[in-house]
Amino acid sequence: MEINYTVVFINAAAVIGLGLSFYKNKQKTRQALKVAVKGLVKMAPAILILLILVGLIMGFFKPEIISSLLGDQSGALGIALASVAGAILMIPSLIAFPLTASLVESGASIGVAAAFITTLTMIGFVTLPIEIKEMGKKLTLLRNGLSFIIAVGIALIMGALL
């Protein structure tokens, strides 16, 4: 569902944009397409890595494993485990929230849930190669590292408040 919406939106925007651009200025349109092709070539190896890693993660990690690992975990160890799991895994948010809700139901603390959701959405272990390619090594490592710390911070605050 989410994907279909995205696909339609992005491709419609691209087609309309290309059409307008071509109508207004052929030279600039050619330049734009050149940039696009160059971007594809630049990203190709990183995308291949991403494809393989996503397959392996989905094929080998089962939601039940996460549940059994984090199920009745709370406290510092639970938050640490949840943060790492969230950073490595790549789950669509529509599946992630029911999964997190079931974690809480089976005994995980609110802090664990917050840590899991926050690292899951903010940190992309498998997309690191792409991010480095586009943003540079320094910014990528800073962003992912600090996001991890932020996730733990949010988890601790929420665990204390709720």
What residues numbered 25-44 form the site for other proteins, per CB under 8 A? 28-29, 31-37, 39-40, 42-43
Binding piece for other proteins, criterion CB under 8 A, among 66-74, 77-85, 139-147: 139-147
Q: Does 69 bind other proteins (CB under 8 A)?
A: no
Whichever of 55 and 75 has its CB closer to other proteins, that residue is 55
Whichever of 51 and 76 has its CB closer to other proteins, that residue is 51
Least distance CB 160 / other proteins (angstroms): 11
Q: At a CB cut-off of 8 Å and minimum separation 6, what does 74 contact?
A: 107, 108, 109, 111, 112, 159
Q: Does 11 bind other proteins (CB under 8 A)?
A: yes
Find the binding residues for other proteins in span 74-133 (CB under 8 A).
Answer: 93-94, 97-98, 100-101, 104, 110, 113-114, 117-118, 121-122, 124, 127, 129-133
Tokens of 104: 């809480």
Distance CA 129, CA 8 (A): 26
Least distance CB 76 / other proteins (angstroms): 18
From the centroid of its chain, how far is CA 65? 20
Q: Does 142 bind other proteins (CB under 8 A)?
A: yes
Tokens of 8: 């339609």
Q: How many residues bind other proteins (CB under 8 A)?
A: 81
Least distance CB 51 / other proteins (angstroms): 5
From the centroid of its chain, how far is CA 47? 14
Binding piece for other proteins, criterion CB under 8 A, among 51-59, 63-71, 72-80: 51-59
User: What is the per-residue DSSP string for 8-72?
Assistant: HHHHHHHHHHHHHHHHH-HHHHHHHHHHHHHHHHHHHHHHHHHHHHHHHHHHH--HHHHHHHHTT
